Amino acid sequence: MPVPTQASDDAFAEVKAKVDLVKVVSEHVRLTKRNRDLWGLCPFHQEDSPSFKVNPQMQSWYCFGCERSGDVFTFVELIEKTDKRGALQMLAERAGVELKKLSPEQKERADVRKRVLDMLKLAAQYYEYVLWKMPAGESGRKLLESRHVSEETARKFQLGYAPAGRGFAEYLRAKKRSLADAQEAGLMRRDGTDFFAERLVIPIRDERGQPLAFTARTVRQDEQRKYINSPETPAYIKGRVIFGLDLARDEIARQGHAVLMEGQFDVITGHQFGVTNAVASSGTALTDEQVRLLKRFTDELLLVFDADRAGRDAARKAAVTAAQHGMRTRLATVPEGKDPDEFLRAGGAEALARWKELVERAPSAIDAVIEWLAAGLNPSNPNQLEAVGGQVREYIRQFPPTLHETYAELAERKTGISRHLLLNDPEPAARVKPGTNGSGARAPRPAGKKMTPSRYLVQLLAVRPVALEQLRSKITADELDEDDRGIFVRMLGSYERGGAGGLEADLNGYPPEEQDLIRRAWAAPPPNVDDEVAVELAQRIRLEHMKGMHGGIIRELSEAERGRDTERVARLESQARELGRAITDMERRG
Ligand SMILES: [Zn+2]
């Protein structure tokens, strides 16, 4: 079988010229002609009406539903769950294109790669042999024993041991093999010493089980570098391989999710204890290529990272990368700050059952990240609230736009911060409509009524419904400025009926000027919207209201005195005294 090792541009162009995208797609999708294009139900997402379009002239396709697009190669990649090279191979066979027709340089590169791959295979066999059959392998065996890795598991992963000195070079000489290839494969230094000497070696294999590189752990106490990895070679590019995928792929497809762990040893222990859908991203943060590779087998990733800061950062990033390729992520946290490796070994016979519990409880990654960000949040501290709100907004923004709304809603439920604050950056949103302000600077406060405590409170309630709980006993509508009473009562009603989302649901039924006020508050919320501010505003409003009432009584009093209405004077005097005392009290407390 011709292996198109170096997928050349020539080969792609030649194949593309010979196959018709419409024919290829028609084998999977029923296409109907509309104008110049052909339309059908998208094979990559669920739909009832066609949004999948093929353009025969351009030989391109596009789905308006899931927004996937591409040419004949990407179509075959997705539909056959293969990679670019696999798609080339399939289509080349179909078109009768011989892929071996490579330019001399391409042929040379392909040959080197093939020799390197052969060499890596041979090295893995040699190391494995040393580990189990040679006295030199003892320190490797001891290391495995201390990690409780059984021989059966070790052999599944083809673990090996690289002895001190020039063992592999001598082995190659005896087999009359080229040392240069071994150097090219990153296995040997120029002087013939083994690159991985005195280390337990772990082959990093592709999804078909071909070793592409090694990672190696020292067995020496005095060695500073615990792990070293193969350099990049013609066969190995960092960030394109998923460790353990060759062993886990079937189980991943069967269980519907892949377990992504941090370390190779976590994965090895995982498989030993029955977590046979475990893989690791191996030496890098999760890359786009790795997600694409995993996506061929599942749509869901279960992330298991260390509970430390580095682990959390890695998990946060991985969730975003996965989402960009339409993958869901959940996050399992191993209790008591253990590695998955430690957790499983401590579980003994119950390890798998305890693992399954952990998986069932695992929240979505976005859930978990918001929880971290909001941990220890004091909702009455405006600075904290603003900082957390900013962080959540920043995180949500990294995800594909279609997820923003849902995530903001979720974050609102968890933090009490309004989803509008979490969706919109107050600054750019506050910019005025084009034409009204040429400078493009931040918009001034909306014209009209100047900001009073009463108006502030209305805006605060618009962006932060939960503040209502604090306010119930502290303010009534008739204490607000007259202009704000109507909107206040309407908002209370909306929240009463529809909860936090009630205002949004009812807004279109509000008088236009009230809609406008609320929308402006959403776009450019007041500086602080925490409970403390809400309560303080309510007190100030109540105090102002009482002072206003007090003034009214005094005016009435002088009128009563003029009319010599002694009874009325006495009553008003007592009212004024009472109110005056309350005002003094409140001022003293505030
Ligand atoms: Zn689609």
Distance 360 CA to ligand 1 centre (A): 30
Q: Which residue has the tokens 């002694």?
A: 566
Retrieve residue 25's tokens: 């797609």
pLDDT score, position 445: 39
Ion ligand 1: protein residues whose beta carbon lies under 5 Å = 42, 44-45, 63, 65-66
Predicted local distance difference test score (pLDDT) of residue 432 = 35
Conformation bin of residue 338: beta by default, left when phi > 0, alpha when psi is -120 to 50? beta
> Which two three-digit tokens encode residue 46?
């669920």
* 357: Cβ contacts below 8 Å, ≥ 6 apart: none
**Which alpha helices (H) appear in 27-150, and where do they start and end?**
72-79, 84-95, 104-133, 138-146
Distance, in Å, from the CA atom of 63 to the CA atom of 45, rounded to the nearest integer, reads 9
pLDDT for position 446: 39
Residue 77 Cα to ligand 1 middle (Å):
15
pLDDT of residue 310: 82
Cα 430 to middle of ligand 1, angstroms: 35
**For residue 53, how far is its CA from the centre of ligand 1 (angstroms)?**
9
What is the whole-number distance in angstroms between the Cα of residue 144 and the centre of ligand 1?
48
Tell me the CA–centroid distance for residue 14 and ligand 1, in Å: 28
Cα(303) to ligand 1 centroid in Å equals 27
Is 350 exposed, middle or buried, given 0-12, 13-18 or 19+ CB atoms closer than 10 A? exposed
What's the predicted TM-score (pTM) here? Answer: 0.59
Distance 38 CA to ligand 1 centre (A): 14
- Edge to edge, the sheet with strand 278-280 lists 278-280, 258-261, 300-304, 328-332
- What is the 402 CA–ligand 1 centroid distance (Å)? 14
pLDDT at 442: 37
Q: Which residues of the chain have pLDDT under 50?
A: 1-7, 427-448
Distance 90 CA to ligand 1 centre (A): 23
CA–centroid distance, 71 to ligand 1, in Å, is 14
